[in-house]
Amino acid sequence: MTMKRSTFLASTSGALAATAMPFTARAAESEIRLVTPTGSISGTLTLPDSPAPYPAVLIVAGSGPVDRNGNSGAQLRSDTYKLLAAALAKAGIASVRYDKRGIGASAAAAPAEADLRFGMYVDDAVAWVKLLAADRRFTGVTIAGHSEGALIGTVAAQEAKVRALVLLEGAGRPAPVVLREQLKSRVPPDLYAQADRIITQLQSGHTVANTPVELAALFRPSAQPYLISWFKYDPAAELAKVRVPVTIVQGTADIQVTMTDAAALKAALPSARMIVVQGMNHVLKYAPDTSSMQAIMKAYEDPSLPVAPQAVNAVVTAAQT
């Protein structure tokens, strides 16, 4: 989700069993827990201020050490998922957002980094859907996946029974393509050539023993197994397998995932609804100024800015379908 691709290397493991913690009946928000063989994953259940039943939305976070609210360190304090959950509740829709394995209250569920695999994130999303689907307060579950969470949600929607799928600023091209594109514009040509060779090796399923110091954060040995597992997925090809209603939401001020990605997703599934939000950045907020990258990034650090209404409405419409 953040600008650094090294943040894709967070933490996770598979999820098989799931139970919810007790909650206060009329509380707007309460803790909910997914119990898995390798530890519990903690989240927040947000309920509308109205009698059940209601639709439910599972908010799947983007890449890296992003917590349930959509924050990660000083440079990412957007509260995007927290704000989205509150907006959904006002529309009569429940939601769950959660700390990924190794993050926040889910820290104890983290495996060693070398054991991390992309499919483990998918397993967790599937288990959350099953947990919510078994709850009689909810009439159905929609996945709203943001950034890398869009791909996680796409694969999970093939395995779990969901009402709809919403892709919020999701990549439409394989990770190696996007990663090469980002690196080419940010590192010197000689360093890019080395990165290109490393990516090629990882695409073939082979780890790389020696990596340049400048690229160590991204291609460190313990992170390479995750990259290999992630590189195997083509978001467009995976989306073509989905058999529920899909909505693609893309902002024109996103400097991480572009209109090219949204177009690739739409081409893969022509029946998908496409919503283009003028001036919305990667964290689903209007950029106060789109004249420079620095100006666009300011919205990443301002939790007072609301989530763009068009993005909220897209999720609401999908969940109510």
Q: What is the pLDDT at residue 74?
A: 74
Q: What is the pLDDT at residue 299?
A: 83
Give the pLDDT confidence of 100-139 residue by residue, as tens digits.
Answer: 998 999 999 999 999 999 999 999 999 999 999 999 999 9
- The rounded distance, in Å, linking the Cα atoms of 80 and 69 is 6
The answer for residues whose C-beta is within 8 angstroms of residue 183's C-beta and 6 or more apart is 5, 192, 195, 196
- The rounded distance, in Å, linking the Cα atoms of 317 and 229 is 33
Q: Which fold has domain 5-173+235-320?
A: Rossmann fold (3.40.50)
Structure tokens belonging to residue 60: 């799947």
Radius of gyration of the chain (CA): 19
**Nearest alpha carbon to residue 194 among 178, 168, 177, 213:** 213
| Residue whose entry in the numeric block shows the structure tokens 């572009």 | 258
Q: Are the CB atoms for 129 and 58 separated by under 8 Å?
A: yes
Q: Are the CB atoms for 198 and 89 separated by under 8 Å?
A: no
Structure tokens belonging to residue 185: 């514009």
How many C-beta atoms surround the C-beta of residue 193 within 10 A? Answer: 11
- The rounded distance, in Å, linking the Cα atoms of 252 and 169 is 10
Give the pLDDT confidence of 149-174 residue by residue, as tens digits.
Answer: 999 999 999 999 999 999 999 999 99
What is the identity of the amino acid at 254?
Answer: D
Q: Are the CB atoms for 111 and 12 separated by under 8 Å?
A: yes
List the 39-46 sheet strands across, edge first: 29-36, 39-46, 94-98, 54-60, 138-146, 164-168, 246-251, 273-277
Q: Are the CB atoms for 169 and 257 separated by under 8 Å?
A: yes
- The rounded distance, in Å, linking the Cα atoms of 249 and 295 is 22
How many C-beta atoms surround the C-beta of residue 114 within 10 A? Answer: 13
Q: What is the pLDDT at residue 6?
A: 31
Give the pLDDT confidence of 81-106 residue by residue, as tens digits.
Answer: 999 999 999 999 999 999 999 899 99
Evaluate if residue 238 carries a pLDDT over 60. Answer: yes
User: What does pTM read for this prediction?
Assistant: 0.90
Give the pLDDT confidence of 11-39 residue by residue, as tens digits.
Answer: 223 333 344 433 333 448 999 999 999 89
Return the domain boundaries, the chain: 5-173+235-320, 178-227
Q: What is the pLDDT at residue 11?
A: 27
Provide the angle, in degrees to the nearest 10, between the axes of the packed helices 189-203 and 175-184: 170
How many C-beta atoms surround the C-beta of residue 103 within 10 A? Answer: 23
